[in-house]
Amino acid sequence: MRIDAKSELYGLPALQVREILRNFPSGGQTTSWEYACRKLDLKKAKRLVRDLLRDGLIETAEWKGKKLDDGYYCRTEAGNRLALAKARPLKRKTAEKMLASLITRAEAINADSKLCFQIRTLVVFGSFLNPQADVLGDLDIGYHMEARWEGKALEEAKEASRKRARERGRGFSWWLDLLTWPEREVKLALKAKTSGLSLHSLMDAPSIISPDGEMILAGPHRVVFGTVVP
């Protein structure tokens, strides 16, 4: 599925709606609409959630087969397709250079003792694996991070990570952003603002779904860095 990067959806930029949808998990996990839409003002957020629910892109959580109406939602299959929609085509030669740079960044992350987490695994999947495809959607990468330390040492390193972020002027408008910053710091370093690079966490079951709705490690994939965690 592709979207026009210059188009609008629900009165908002299409890429912004795609980003918000990506904040809602899939695979049975949920998050609050306030968190998913935290970058919107309240009126726009409520209207967008209403529209996403109406069009079947998100749905209310379930517990033991019963729907819960508590403001927590997850993506539907249709929502997954839009969340993973591509905005522009990607040439294979460009993707190959991106992959080489990604591996270099993973090595640098693992060598940086200031970072709380290191990269255990990188796997490539999707259209990149088709040697006949010269034009791809995105470079789809599954990644697994693991903590560099344990216990008190890890907590001290996390606090140092948050302190560095504040000193650099980063603000945290939501408590969960602050809590998860040490992991996000590593993901941002891995991503490096690379357009066309799509990262998918292998650490949580809801996140290991490919754009086609398949489990990444159960389908065609290739390990390009590290080893797959059993």
Q: What is the pLDDT along the chain (230 residues), one digit of tens a residue?
A: 677 777 899 999 998 999 899 888 876 667 888 888 988 999 999 999 999 999 999 998 766 666 666 688 888 889 988 887 877 778 999 999 999 999 999 999 999 999 999 999 999 998 899 999 898 878 989 999 999 999 999 999 999 999 999 999 988 877 878 898 999 999 999 999 998 888 888 875 444 444 444 567 778 899 999 987 66
Asked whether residue 146 falls in the same domain as residue 184, the answer is yes
pLDDT of residue 209: 45
The pair of structure tokens assigned to 17 is 């709606």
pTM exceeds 0.75, yes or no: no
Look at residue 230 in the predicted model and tell me its pLDDT. 60
> The domain that contains 29 carries what CATH number?
1.10.10.10
CA distance 200 to 142: 5
Residues of the domain holding 58: 8-83
Q: Which pLDDT value is given to residue 205?
A: 45
- Asked, for residue 37, whether it belongs to a domain, the answer is yes
In angstroms, the CA 185 to CA 148 distance is 14
Q: Are residues 116 and 155 both part of a single domain? A: yes
Contact 225, 103 (CB under 8 A): yes
pLDDT of residue 192: 96
Answer yes or no: do 72 and 122 share one domain.
Answer: no
Q: Which pLDDT value is given to residue 13?
A: 92
Start-end of H helices in the chain: 14-23, 33-36, 42-54, 77-83, 92-111, 151-167, 175-179, 181-191
Residues 73 and 100 in one domain: no
Give the amino acid at 228.
V
| Cβ atoms within 10 Å of 228's Cβ, excluding its own | 14
Looking at 32, 64, 83, the residue that finishes a domain is 83
Judgement on whether residues 50 and 108 belong to the same structural domain of the protein: no
Both 113 and 39 in one domain: the answer is no
Do 127 and 1 meet the contact criterion of CB atoms below 8 Å apart? no
Does 2 fall in a domain? no
Vertex 85 angle, CA 59 and 97, to 5°: 140
As given in the structure block, the two tokens for residue 42 are: 């309240």
Burial grade of 152 (CB within 10 A; 0-12, 13-18, 19 or more):
exposed
Domain count, the chain: 2
Whether residues 39 and 106 share a domain: the answer is no
In this structure, are 16 and 122 located in the same domain?
A: no
What pLDDT is attached to residue 210?
Answer: 47
45 phi, psi to nearest 5 deg: -65, -45
At residue 174, φ and ψ (nearest 5 deg) are -135, 135
In a domain, 1, yes or no: no
